[in-house]
């Protein structure tokens, strides 16, 4: 447990709390409810929109008039905020007099713990360790040290590193022969589900670990090497964290975040439209890194402007309560949702919400209410889980 330090970026805690509220609350059951409603009324625009924004697109992420799926932006936001928090955390460590070696060891420890914690969560309900690294915690851990080593570098070095990572990753994909396309031809074909360079890598790499049965493909198309381009997502967060701690005016900071977001969204859309690199969240294509990164900058700009610049803070406190204990809340959501619902039924009746069409929403909301109360109690006690 750790104490909450003074001088925290409250807008970041609120942003993190919003994402964790959605994730740990299982989207408040809106996906199940929208699916049921569309069976009854398939032409409902309202429920079509709700289902779209509470689920991942089957493969390519749509960026048309309706915008990218909100659910698709959960993981990019999570990883982006890691970078922002790193900028603040390690600056405080430096000001306390910690050496580079001490900070390096701390970063390495955090990286290893996150990777193994992700493997632990992937193994829930199995009879043996399930060596998979697509959980968001493992993905953060795998890229964490690269971002750490880029901290404190000039902006142009960080930008050059980000461009190099994305360009190199894209080139590796399109240079790898796949079904229906040879090297450097028909670019979109190189980003097919489970028929791409990263999927081929996993068929070798994951079979190096003891398994119940040989690994052939991930059902959702996710790959271990997603962490490579997502390093740039965290790097964007690091750069934004440095920006917010700079001597620039608040107005200038908001303007840079807003315009930077527009540039990134535009670049991601152009690469997708020209069929150079499709927007696919599930394999974190370079165009997706840019496209989703733009949205995370906009989210942060909005939160920062409202909370830290204008000073409208009271409304955000329910989110801050969740954001300051995000790792613990993530574990609650992954491990305790079914058990918590079962306990609610024990104490309030086995037919709790059984006879209402809003059952998925009410069940998910009730479970999330329990999680929030636990986080609120921890907040009141000044207890915060850190890695």
Residue 1 lies in a domain: no
Per-residue pLDDT, 63: 58
Per-residue pLDDT, 387: 83
Query: pLDDT tens digit string along 4-40?
Result: 444 579 999 999 999 999 988 888 899 989 988 898 8
Residue 155 lies in a domain: yes
Segments forming the whole domain that contains residue 121: 10-380
Per-residue pLDDT, 62: 63
CB 79 within 8 A of CB 139: yes
Question: How many domains does the chain fold into?
Answer: 1
Rounded to two decimals, what is the model's pTM? 0.93
Residue 92 lies in a domain: yes
- Rounded to 10 degrees, what is the CA torsion of 29, 25, 286, 195? -60
Per-residue pLDDT, 65: 46
Residue 248 lies in a domain: yes
The full length of the chain comes to 387
Residue 387 lies in a domain: no
- Rama region for 185: left / alpha / beta (φ>0; ψ in -120 to 50; rest): beta
Residue 4 lies in a domain: no
User: Cα–Cα–Cα angle for 288, 17, 298, nearest 5°?
Assistant: 40
Per-residue pLDDT, 7: 56
Residue 385 lies in a domain: no
**Site of tokens 């909100």:** 70
Residue 315 lies in a domain: yes
Per-residue pLDDT, 61: 74
Contacts of 211 (CB under 8 A, 6+ apart): 130, 131
Which residue in 230, 365, 298, 326 sits closest to 14, CA to CA? Answer: 326
All residue ranges of the chain with pLDDT < 50 are: 1-6, 65-66
């Amino acid at each position: 447990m750790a104490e909450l330090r003074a001088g925290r970026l409250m807008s970041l805690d609120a942003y993190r709390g919003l994402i964790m509220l959605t994730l740990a609350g299982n989207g408040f059951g809106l996906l199940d409810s929208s699916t049921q409603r569309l069976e009854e009324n398939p032409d409902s625009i309202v429920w079509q929109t709700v289902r779209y924004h509470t689920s991942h697109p089957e493969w390519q992420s749509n960026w048309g008039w309706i915008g990218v799926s909100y659910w698709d932006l959960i993981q990019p936001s999570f990883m982006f905020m890691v970078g922002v928090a790193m900028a603040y955390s390690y600056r405080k460590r430096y000001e306390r007099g910690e050496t580079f070696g001490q900070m390096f060891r701390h970063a390495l420890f955090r990286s290893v713990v996150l990777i193994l914690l992700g493997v632990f969560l992937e193994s829930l309900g199995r009879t043996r360790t399930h060596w998979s690294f697509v959980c968001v915690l493992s993905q953060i851990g795998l890229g964490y040290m690269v971002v750490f080593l880029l901290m404190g570098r000039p902006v142009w070095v960080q930008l050059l590193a980000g461009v190099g990572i994305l360009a190199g990753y894209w080139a590796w994909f399109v240079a790898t022969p796949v079904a229906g396309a040879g090297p450097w031809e028909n670019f979109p074909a190189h980003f097919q589900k489970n028929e791409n360079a990263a999927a081929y890598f996993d068929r070798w790499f994951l079979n190096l670990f003891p398994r119940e049965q040989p690994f052939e493909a991930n059902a959702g198309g996710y790959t271990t090497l997603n962490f490579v381009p997502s390093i740039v997502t965290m790097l964007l967060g690091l750069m934004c964290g440095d920006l917010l701690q700079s001597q620039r005016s608040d107005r200038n900071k908001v303007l840079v975040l807003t315009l930077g977001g527009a540039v990134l969204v535009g670049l991601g859309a152009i690469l997708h439209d020209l069929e150079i690199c499709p927007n696919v969240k599930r394999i974190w294509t370079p165009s997706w890194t840019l496209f989703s990164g733009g949205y995370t900058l906009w989210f942060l700009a909005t939160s920062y402007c409202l909370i830290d610049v204008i000073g409208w803070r009271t409304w955000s406190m329910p989110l801050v309560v969740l954001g300051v204990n995000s790792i613990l809340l993530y574990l609650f959501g992954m491990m305790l949702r079914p058990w918590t619902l079962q306990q609610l039924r024990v104490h309030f009746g086995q037919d709790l919400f059984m006879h209402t069409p809003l059952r998925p929403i009410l069940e998910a909301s009730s479970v999330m209410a329990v999680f929030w109360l636990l986080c609120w109690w921890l907040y009141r006690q000044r207890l915060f889980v850190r890695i």
